[in-house]
Structures are given as structure tokens and as C-alpha cells.
Amino acid sequence: MNLRMIGCTHQESGLDVRQQLAFDAAQTTAALDAWQQRFDETEIVLLSTCNRVELYAASTGPANSLTTNQLIDGLLDFHNLSREQVEGQLLTLADQDVVRHLFRVAASLESMVVGEPQILSQVKQAYQCAQDVGTAGPRLHDLFQSALHTAKRVSGETQLHKHRVSIPSVAISELASCVFETFDDKHVLVIGAGEMAEETLRYLHDAGKPSIHVVNRSVEHGEQVAQKWDGQYHPWDQLWQQLSLADLAISTTAATEPLVTIEAFEEHVAPNRHQRPLFLLDLSVPRDFEPAVGEALGVYLYSIDDLDKACEQNRAARAAEFPAAEKIIVQESQRFASEQHRRMTAPVITELRAGLERPKTAELERLFQKLPDLDDQSRREIEQFADRLVNKMLHPPLESLRDASQNGTPHGLLDAIRRLFQLED
């Protein structure tokens, strides 16, 4: 099998390039359909996320394989981009490097936040879409199923995924979860609707089904965020009312002074809460909430500094798990390569053995017809001699195939053996 991968990731490419090359669901389907017509007899899967756009292609061998340049042209042509616009920002991989890369991607070792769980479902969705369109065949099926198996091993056999390292993930999984057993139907207030607030909402959405409420000075942006998360937008003058109703509040404004002082909290919010638990996630610099608010009864206030400390502890714990995760990647990559090479060489070995067995059997029959008086013991000795001779003749080419399979894709040797022994292709 000949494998190729081209694309851009957050490690090699800037955000502007990733945005220009990104595919939504409809574009992914359209692109796969177009490439199926353009690149005959090639299997293709397209993975497009906010941090990467990767095109995986597989063909039977060098004679039928696409070049990397052809794949790049196909990717760029769909978005009407020139090579100059992405120069130096595309990642290109071949064969076993593709295998290792996809395994690392699925296991979240290549993610911006290593260990984040979303990428595995995104890999599954990418493969399923290719299946639905008809561009994923048996070669990429083996590759992607092995990638999913590898990711599950990393998740099950290491602690890598158990240590969150982003501020929103730590806030929800390790802090807010200590206050609330479930987030279902919790009143979540977003103040400011910044990017960090949206990321926190993403983790909350994965953890339960909260009721989202947005208070923002910009009506347009506030309504956009509320609509995106099936929530409700409220005018800025309803801040105190929403804080009084909230179970959890996330604040990410650009205010230069605290929005909520202890005096304002005690006057406008505390009397209406009756000491109900309130989890406050202050992601603003400078702070939106005065530290004294966190001393009020029932209030749990965490700032960026508090969360940074928790993230740093988790990063150290996660780093200790890297060697174990990398070992699994190596094991599964080698296993995949061995299995593919075995499948590649098995038909040739079978035909080669059959090609020698046929003349052996014919010659033995001819010999035994000429020597009808041979006893059974003599016939067995002659048959064993013929078997040993065939095995010795098979040993050098089989040994060479084994060595070639261990060192790389044995296309050249397979073609040579087919020609030398006149085997069927």
C-alpha cells in the first residue's frame, strides 16, 4: 500500500492558512466527491478541524499512486488557492510516517491541548464521511481502524487523558465538578462572551445540558453566542438579575476595573440567592470580580492565577505519561506495518510456492511411471527429497521478502519475483 498525507496543522501553519484551507461538512462531502472523480482508484479521507486540515490518500502501489504534488493541487484547487499562498506551510508525509502521524493525531498527542478528547470523535467522523461518499476503501479502513484502536490503548493504558491542561477544562472537570454533581439544567451565565468563555461552554456542553444565558454590552455578539449554544441573550442592565439566578458564571470582559465589587454583590445579588452555591470563573485580566466576593457564603471564585496553578500541576503529571503513550504508538505502528507487508507478500509467496509445486508434482509422477517397481519406502524418500529441494529453492526469495518487509515497502522486490518466476499479478 502506498500512503500519502498532505495538510496543515497548528504546528506548521498559521491561522490564516488553516482558515483558508478549512472545510465545513458540506464542503468535505463536495471535495471528496470531486477528488473521487479526479483521482481514480485512490482512497481518500479528509480530516478538517479548527487546528488541522489533513488529506489522507492510499493506493495499491507506485504504478497506481498519486504524487504528492497532484494531491496538493487537488487540495488547493478546491479553495482556488495558489501554491504561493501556502508556501512553506504544508506538511507532507509518506508511507509509515503517515501511519505514525495519524496514530498520534487520534491519540491526541498532536493536539494543541494534548489529551483532549474531541479529536478522536473528529477522526471517526472524517472516516465515516469518506465511507458515506465512497472514497474510503479497505486500505484506509485498516489504517483508520488501527488508529482508533491505538487511541483507545493510549487512553486506557496511560493517565494522559486524565490530566486536563487548558484553563476551561480544568475549571469544569476539576473545580466546578466538585461543587455540582451534574450540570444538567444549571443556570450558566456568560458575562462578556469572549473566546475563553466559549471554550468553557464547550466543556460544559460535553459534561451536561446546562441552560445558557449571555449578558454582553454588544447586543449583536451576545445574541450570536447565545444562539450558537441554544441559550438566551439578556441586556447588560440585567447583569445583577442574572447573577442572582446563576449557578455558574463565566466572565471574560475587557473592563479595566472590577465589574462586581463586594459592596455591589452584597447589595444586588447576595440577598436574592439565600446562600445557594455560586461558582464564579473569572477569566478576565484584570479581574471582573473583586477577590472579596469569593469570601461570601456559598461563593466559589476562581481567577486566571488559580487556574494556571492547577493547569501547571496537570502538565507535569501529563508529561510523565508521554513515554508510555509514545511506546504504544511505536508498537501499533510496527504492528500495522507488519500486517500490511504480510498481506502484500502473502499472495506472491502462495503463487511462488504453487509455481514450484506444480513442476515438482509433474516430475515425480513421470519418474514413478518410469520406475514402477519402487517400493513404498523408496517412493517416500524420493518425495521427501523433492520437498526439501523445493523448500531450499524457496528459502532465498522468501528470506529476501521478509527482510524487505521489515525495512520498508517491498514493491520492487515483489515485482522482480513476479517477473523472474512469471507469476500472475
Q: Which three cell numbers stand for residue 409?
A: 515497502
Instruction: Report the distance separating Cα 271 and Cα 125, nearest Å.
Output: 48
Residues 6+ apart with CB under 8 A from 319: none
Instruction: Report the distance separating Cα 229 and Cα 209, nearest Å.
Output: 10
Given CA atoms 210, 213, 216, 219 in this order, what sign does their dihedral have?
positive
Q: Which three cell numbers stand for residue 346?
A: 502473502
Q: Is 79 helix (H, G, I), strand (E, B) or coil?
A: coil
Q: Which of 216, 285, 208 is nearest to 247 (CA)?
A: 208
Q: Which of 68, 139, 143 is nearest to 103 (CA)?
A: 143
Please, are residues 189 and 250 in contact by the beta-carbon 8 Å criterion? yes
Q: Please give the full DSSP string across 318-340, using - where no structure is assigned.
A: HHTTHHHHHHHHHHHHHHHHHHH
Residues 6+ apart with CB under 8 A from 53: 7, 8, 18, 21, 22, 23, 46, 47, 75
Instruction: Report the distance separating Cα 298 and Cα 301, nearest Å.
Output: 10
Q: Is 214 helix (H, G, I), strand (E, B) or coil?
A: strand
Task: Tally Cβ neighbours within 10 Å of residue 198.
Answer: 16
Instruction: Report the distance separating Cα 271 and Cα 265, nearest Å.
Output: 9
Q: Is 392 helix (H, G, I), strand (E, B) or coil?
A: helix
Q: Establish how many alpha carbons lie within 13 A of residue 209's alpha carbon, considering only the half-sphere containing its beta carbon.
A: 1
List, by residue number, the catalytic residues.
50
Q: Which three cell numbers stand for residue 310?
A: 492547577
User: Which alpha helices (DSSP H) does 79-210 contain, by range?
Assistant: 83-86, 96-106, 118-133, 138-157, 167-170, 177-179, 195-207
Name the DSSP class of 229: T
Please, are residues 235 and 219 in contact by the beta-carbon 8 Å criterion? yes
